[in-house]
Chains A and B, each alone.
Chain A
């Protein structure tokens, strides 16, 4: 087990350099950087963590500051631009034995002055440097006289990040795109977004925006409205009839097939197309219904079809061919694709409804629909849904909410949601639940559907339910809901839609191809095992190995999106597919599917993570979060009214909101 030699991380000093009784410290860091090379030291905005006592700390501090100054400092404030220049030069002079002891005071003096910086980048970079000077002063003094020159063999790898950008699964450079809006440069903002997000109109509208949960402005008042600002940048281009500026690189020879025109498939295709690769996407649904789960799973009142189509058209215009109405495994086999193309990316999504486990659901009753996602798809495509007038939806996720809201728009007189836990515990986004409330949906919380009631014609007439109450805490301390005996009651209805969840339909992958599938019905991809100090393997939020190359066990075949991660979010699929695109490119060009240092450190930081919700952020909380305009009332959910409900910011409002951003950039550097 790796032992911490020294740490100042989180402002707690652990110093085991002198020997004696070992003080324990543990961090969410792996013992190796890439499965092989040991992590010797970590330096960043919150201090230093030293695992290897041979690391030359003064040299590392000098290198850290040099990188901050020359690679990342934006130069846009005086203390940052000039202060880090003076610091970098002083530290270099010390490391090279050309300095005086008084120069150490300059470091302290400047660290103090840099609290006046415009943002946190240069300011936070003084933290580990100051810790180094303070706790490794002898090493510095030794360098001043040039008496101790260490030949440190360690290599440094750095990463420029911010809490929001780290948390965003697509790692969009959020502070940069917000700063561009602050400067009235919506076009530049969109360019930054597109570097990591090819569906900006979508993720400006329907992203669950995990970034906002890691927004440092939250430590002052409320998070910056990061998602709606993305929409502002995206809508600006559309509202000004601007042509997207991207120019794909010259066309290359090797070709790539993508299965599924959902967020993962589109993103992978987009980034490969920009690199010049001819990409062909095969989509099971007919033309006009591209977009995968964004199209058939997110109703148009949340994501207007024409804007989704605009994003898709832009991707296509980069040199991506989309072949619609073609299902892999039925119209063309996976083996054929594999033969025809140099690489194949599987992103079929998760479109199969899970059963709800209630008596009668498998009997084929009239009015008992297949599943939430199927209902949404049929409604979206304007086909008969089989829905009646009194609709009950079972579930607590966003799909369930979409179903009750779409049911109203499809003409339901009553739309009821049944969920076995409380409102607070719903996995659906709060604003979606509120939206349903606003439109007149009836909620039954803490109920368990037990039986479907039908009449003599096998037509559904109701659902029998039990009330639920919280039981005793279980081993994990969580109180599970348990049925209350004798609390049976019936919710009358003519339609029941189970919206319990989805999983991928991977029947198109033949068993004999060697592509492995997990017990959760997701595609297995190769990974690099990273373990923490306790020997525990690091996992992502879905229980997958943290660092994956996204190549399957079959050479040349890659996988991503919901079918690889497990059903998650648009933004997660895009981040995952963007990485897949990079790995596919390496595979096509070098014959190897591998990850770069930058990708390793990216995943390591995400696991750390970058955001610290306990951090005291001194700032004047004088500007409250802006809220986008919204259409309210039941009319917005009238029959066939799929008009967009949320209206976005006007530009001046976007600029005001952008001004709230604290630009929480910071630099991490590891020694390996």
Chain B
């Protein structure tokens, strides 16, 4: 601790604190303009200059570290004069277009000039004007308004790790620009716009949509990925016109393209506005009637189990809760599932069984301080951008060692100390080899393993048969690569292990997750102040879907079907006793004729699930298909009853993140036309089906649910419903194979389908803003393969698998490996999902010129 005096007041602060931080603790405000808590201090504006006794020049409070015994003065005539003059200098040649500047009314420069009394101009210079960049997508830059605070550049570099913009030129000509002067080509997270204190960097979609003060600001949660960033909707006339995030939030005000610009999906003219019954526009009464009559008819003819429902991670906890209640209590079946079946559900089951957690082992801010981070089978940039920011922070600010294991050279590669570019099918082998190497080198967490792990000897014995040479050869790596990676994550005080779609949806997903839990356990990743085990999923409320019991074999809160009594009491209805069908069993049931009615809630399996072709055929067979959605997707075209629903910005409710944070949505806009909020639709359907007449509100639904689902009642206060690893000893999974799936020699290429940064599921394919950046799918292919096949960048490529084919433009890039092609799975028009089998996110394909 260091003692100092500021304006005559004594304070003790931690060593290494700045004068600004010390003053803040004393409640003394030192004016700042370029200072931004979440990035390194810049010291550009100089308005935070203070006097330190004995130092014959002003020192800037933002970047001057305290020293024992110093006496600091923050207010004096001299300082006031310096600050005023600096503001005057800042205004030299600053355009006075405040009346039409987008920042007018929320401009830090205006505010600083006002508060520092810069009311006249003593300085003048020859006017030089810089080109306004109208040619950038989504973001506009007017360098004439720039005060060179560098906040944008620092957020871009330090938080996002994108390096799209930089300070260029010298003297008065110094501006913020792209490094090559070409139009901006970046992640389009807009965090630069978010931190710009002036109207230099502005959002083009928001430009001239209104004065900042004319909007209603509603706090809410981002509806896209499972990071669950806290946002603010700015709406007017029932329409969202921009999204921002405050620096005081959990996500420090940082968003990604989806969070900041993805809101335009809500304003899409494609939105469903009217109920439709068998192809004809209908009113709600008719549509509800048709749905209920249809369901009753099927139940009457074929029994309750002839009805099935698919829930949605896009919908709230309350809505998913109502959905399963509708099925269990209203219809009487457990035929319930969701896209969690594609991978997350079974991964979560392994976590529950092995360590007693239902999601991540800790909140994601525990990543920030980890001493080592392993990101495996996950493109965090696309699957959970906000988590990627945390990994970047750990690696760059907090000295974490970073190992990236990914089939592709994704963005995190540039921060990684090791990149294991493994071949598809070698996931389990690679994890096993790392585990073996860590144990061989004695790099396991001996304290943790000694006190909390039961059967290390068994694992060691099983691993003795693993040949590193074989693993390396099969995975396309070298033993040295594996050894280096093991040394980077091994022997560290705290480790974060992060895994995503490529693990949860690989062919041996169950074994891979088990092997990964083994690895996390021997590394001592669980139960510490930093680090942990973090599954990643691309969509917001996947955790809520499972927590709410939208699964065929358990009740909300993972309570067994045998524990139905409490629910029966609460709901006043008898629940079905036998487990229902999961998604694939439902599809088979439709094919075989045992399932006659299907209710799709906020999902479009034809476009976003594997085997889309087969699913389409099955859907065509149904007696009744009810689709409740905000958009006319592929399934909606086949619906007998189409119920227009709402998006997250249009309702209240809660989301649960994978790391167990419970967060509230705020209603900022109205659903278009006659569209209604999902909870409202589900409530009415329930009432109509059961003959009840209970009115509902999201708060009321939450209260009912919180009584039945553990941890939710307290969570409104604590914000946490997450589970911690159980307190006892852990059992390592028995030996897992170290062999690599042999590649199919007849199909030299593997297709990996996955998410890209610029979209979230198929939802943002309705968003004009996202489409401006990424309008269509493409096929990424390695230069060597492209050369062999005579494919050039931008040329048409056709990929064919057993289930079908898809065509797109080639992107020739060494990010993929030879023999691997990658295609984003967001685009309905390209629909690469339909090429996949249900078991894996990759499949053997033939690649040819289109």
Q: Hey, which bits of chain A sit against chain B, CB under 8 A?
A: 68-79, 81-86, 89, 106, 109-110, 113, 115-118, 182-185, 239-242, 616, 618-623, 650-652, 655, 659
Of the candidates B55, B89, B170, B396, which one forms a contact with A78 in the assembled complex, judged by CB atoms under 8 Å apart? B89
Determine whether the beta carbon of A185 is less than 8 Å from that of B157.
yes
| Residues of chain B with a CB closer than 8 A to A651's CB | 396, 399
Determine whether the beta carbon of B55 is less than 8 Å from that of A71.
no
Determine whether the beta carbon of A241 is less than 8 Å from that of B170.
no
User: Nearest Cβ distance between residue A621 and chain B, in whole angstroms?
Assistant: 7
Q: A89-B125, A182-B40 are in contact. Are A116 and B171 (CB under 8 A)?
A: no
Complex CA–CA separation, A177 to B350 (angstroms): 49
Of the candidates B52, B124, B148, B397, which one forms a contact with A76 in the assembled complex, judged by CB atoms under 8 Å apart? B148
**Listed A/B pairs (21) with beta-carbon separation below 8 Å:** A73-B170, A73-B171, A77-B44, A77-B46, A78-B46, A78-B47, A79-B46, A85-B172, A86-B89, A86-B124, A113-B86, A113-B89, A116-B49, A116-B82, A118-B60, A618-B56, A619-B57, A650-B399, A651-B396, A652-B399, A655-B40
- Would you list which residues of chain B between 47 and 71 have a CB under 8 Å from chain A? 47, 49, 52, 55-60, 63-67, 70
User: Nearest Cβ distance between residue A281 and chain B, in whole angstroms?
Assistant: 29
| Residues of chain B with a CB closer than 8 A to A184's CB | 40, 157-158, 396-397
Q: Which of B49, B125, B169, B396 has the most CB of A within 10 A?
A: B125
Interface check B123, CB cutoff 8 A: yes
Complex CA–CA separation, A110 to B125 (angstroms): 13
| Residues of chain B with a CB closer than 8 A to A619's CB | 55, 57, 59
| Residues of chain A with a CB closer than 8 A to B171's CB | 68-73, 75, 81, 84-85
Determine whether the beta carbon of A83 is less than 8 Å from that of B174.
no
| Residues of chain A with a CB closer than 8 A to B148's CB | 75-78, 81
| Residues of chain B with a CB closer than 8 A to A110's CB | 123
Interface check B150, CB cutoff 8 A: yes
| Residues of chain A with a CB closer than 8 A to B169's CB | 75
Q: Which residue of A lies closest to B169 (CB)?
A: A75
Please list the 6 inter-chain residue pairs (A to B) with the smallest Cβ-Cβ separation, ordered nearest first.
Answer: A75-B174, A622-B67, A618-B56, A82-B89, A85-B172, A69-B171
Determine whether the beta carbon of B172 is less than 8 Å from that of A75.
yes
User: Nearest Cβ distance between residue B430 and chain A, in whole angstroms?
Assistant: 17
Complex CA–CA separation, A89 to B46 (angstroms): 22
Interface check B771, CB cutoff 8 A: no
Determine whether the beta carbon of A74 is less than 8 Å from that of B92.
no
- Would you list which residues of chain B between 126 and 180 have a CB under 8 Å from chain A? 126, 147-148, 150, 154, 157-158, 167, 169-174
Complex CA–CA separation, A83 to B89 (angstroms): 7
Q: Which of B86, B397, B415 has the most CB of A within 10 A?
A: B86
- Would you list which residues of chain B between 392 and 407 have a CB under 8 Å from chain A? 396-399
User: Nearest Cβ distance between residue B596 and chain A, in whole angstroms?
Assistant: 57
Q: Which residue of B lies closest to A110 (CB)?
A: B123
| Residues of chain B with a CB closer than 8 A to A72's CB | 170-171
Determine whether the beta carbon of B58 is less than 8 Å from that of A115.
yes
Q: A182-B40, A240-B414 are in contact. Are A116 and B170 (CB under 8 A)?
A: no
Determine whether the beta carbon of B399 is less than 8 Å from that of A620.
no
Interface check B45, CB cutoff 8 A: yes
Interface check B761, CB cutoff 8 A: no
User: Nearest Cβ distance between residue A662 and chain B, in whole angstroms?
Assistant: 11
User: Nearest Cβ distance between residue B81 and chain A, in whole angstroms?
Assistant: 9
Interface check B546, CB cutoff 8 A: no
Complex CA–CA separation, A73 to B171 (angstroms): 5
Determine whether the beta carbon of A76 is less than 8 Å from that of B399.
no
Q: Which of A85, A650, A659 has the most CB of B within 10 A?
A: A85
User: Nearest Cβ distance between residue A178 and chain B, in whole angstroms?
Assistant: 14
Determine whether the beta carbon of B86 is less than 8 Å from that of A620.
no
Interface check B43, CB cutoff 8 A: yes
User: Nearest Cβ distance between residue A481 and chain B, in whole angstroms?
Assistant: 44
Determine whether the beta carbon of A113 is less than 8 Å from that of B82.
yes
Q: Which residue of B lies closest to A66 (CB)?
A: B171
Determine whether the beta carbon of A240 is less than 8 Å from that of B417.
yes
| Residues of chain B with a CB closer than 8 A to A70's CB | 170-173
User: Nearest Cβ distance between residue A201 and chain B, in whole angstroms?
Assistant: 17
Complex CA–CA separation, A242 to B169 (angstroms): 27
Q: Contact mask B466-503 → A, CB, 8 Å, 1/0?
A: 00000000000000000000000000000000000000
Complex CA–CA separation, A86 to B154 (angstroms): 27
Determine whether the beta carbon of B89 is less than 8 Å from that of A620.
no
Complex CA–CA separation, A117 to B683 (angstroms): 65
Q: A76-B148, A81-B174, A85-B172 are in contact. Are A620 and B64 (CB under 8 A)?
A: yes
Q: A182-B40, A618-B55 are in contact. Are A78 and B415 (CB under 8 A)?
A: no
Determine whether the beta carbon of B416 is less than 8 Å from that of A76.
no
| Residues of chain B with a CB closer than 8 A to A115's CB | 57-58
| Residues of chain A with a CB closer than 8 A to B418's CB | 241
Interface check B85, CB cutoff 8 A: yes
Complex CA–CA separation, A41 to B723 (angstroms): 76
User: Nearest Cβ distance between residue B108 and chain A, in whole angstroms?
Assistant: 13
Interface check B90, CB cutoff 8 A: yes
Complex CA–CA separation, A659 to B62 (angstroms): 12
Determine whether the beta carbon of A241 is less than 8 Å from that of B172.
no
| Residues of chain A with a CB closer than 8 A to B47's CB | 78
Determine whether the beta carbon of A622 is less than 8 Å from that of B92.
no
User: Nearest Cβ distance between residue A401 and chain B, in whole angstroms?
Assistant: 32
User: Nearest Cβ distance between residue B335 and chain A, in whole angstroms?
Assistant: 50
Of the candidates A69, A73, A240, A659, which one forms a contact with B416 in the assembled complex, judged by CB atoms under 8 Å apart? A240
| Residues of chain A with a CB closer than 8 A to B154's CB | 183
- Apart from A74-B170, A76-B42, what 13 extra A-B contacts exist at CB < 8 Å? A73-B174, A76-B174, A77-B45, A79-B46, A81-B171, A82-B125, A85-B125, A86-B92, A86-B125, A113-B85, A240-B415, A241-B416, A650-B399
| Residues of chain B with a CB closer than 8 A to A85's CB | 92-93, 125, 171-172
Complex CA–CA separation, A659 to B86 (angstroms): 23
Interface check B419, CB cutoff 8 A: yes
Complex CA–CA separation, A109 to B84 (angstroms): 13
User: Nearest Cβ distance between residue B18 and chain A, in whole angstroms?
Assistant: 10
Complex CA–CA separation, A72 to B40 (angstroms): 24
Complex CA–CA separation, A182 to B150 (angstroms): 14
Determine whether the beta carbon of B123 is less than 8 Å from that of A652.
no
Determine whether the beta carbon of B86 is less than 8 Å from that of A183.
no
Q: A113-B82, A240-B417, A618-B55 are in contact. Are A183 and B40 (CB under 8 A)?
A: yes
| Residues of chain A with a CB closer than 8 A to B56's CB | 616, 618
| Residues of chain A with a CB closer than 8 A to B49's CB | 116
Complex CA–CA separation, A650 to B417 (angstroms): 13
Determine whether the beta carbon of A622 is less than 8 Å from that of B90.
no
Complex CA–CA separation, A293 to B751 (angstroms): 52
User: Nearest Cβ distance between residue A623 and chain B, in whole angstroms?
Assistant: 5
User: Nearest Cβ distance between residue A255 and chain B, in whole angstroms?
Assistant: 32
| Residues of chain B with a CB closer than 8 A to A183's CB | 40, 154, 157
Q: A84-B171, A86-B125, A106-B123 are in contact. Are A116 and B46 (CB under 8 A)?
A: yes
Complex CA–CA separation, A655 to B59 (angstroms): 20
Complex CA–CA separation, A174 to B175 (angstroms): 23
Complex CA–CA separation, A623 to B18 (angstroms): 11
Q: A183-B157, A184-B396, A622-B67 are in contact. Are A239 and B417 (CB under 8 A)?
A: yes
Q: Which residue of A lies closest to B45 (CB)?
A: A78
Complex CA–CA separation, A76 to B167 (angstroms): 8
Determine whether the beta carbon of B89 is less than 8 Å from that of A79.
yes
User: Nearest Cβ distance between residue A161 and chain B, in whole angstroms?
Assistant: 16
Determine whether the beta carbon of A622 is less than 8 Å from that of B414.
no
| Residues of chain B with a CB closer than 8 A to A650's CB | 399
| Residues of chain B with a CB closer than 8 A to A182's CB | 40
User: Nearest Cβ distance between residue B149 and chain A, in whole angstroms?
Assistant: 9
- Would you list which residues of chain B between 173 and 205 have a CB under 8 Å from chain A? 173-174
User: Nearest Cβ distance between residue B700 and chain A, in whole angstroms?
Assistant: 49
User: Nearest Cβ distance between residue A71 and chain B, in whole angstroms?
Assistant: 6
Q: Which residue of A lies closest to B481 (CB)?
A: A241
| Residues of chain A with a CB closer than 8 A to B82's CB | 113, 116
Determine whether the beta carbon of A89 is less than 8 Å from that of B57.
no
Determine whether the beta carbon of A242 is less than 8 Å from that of B414.
yes
| Residues of chain A with a CB closer than 8 A to B85's CB | 109, 113
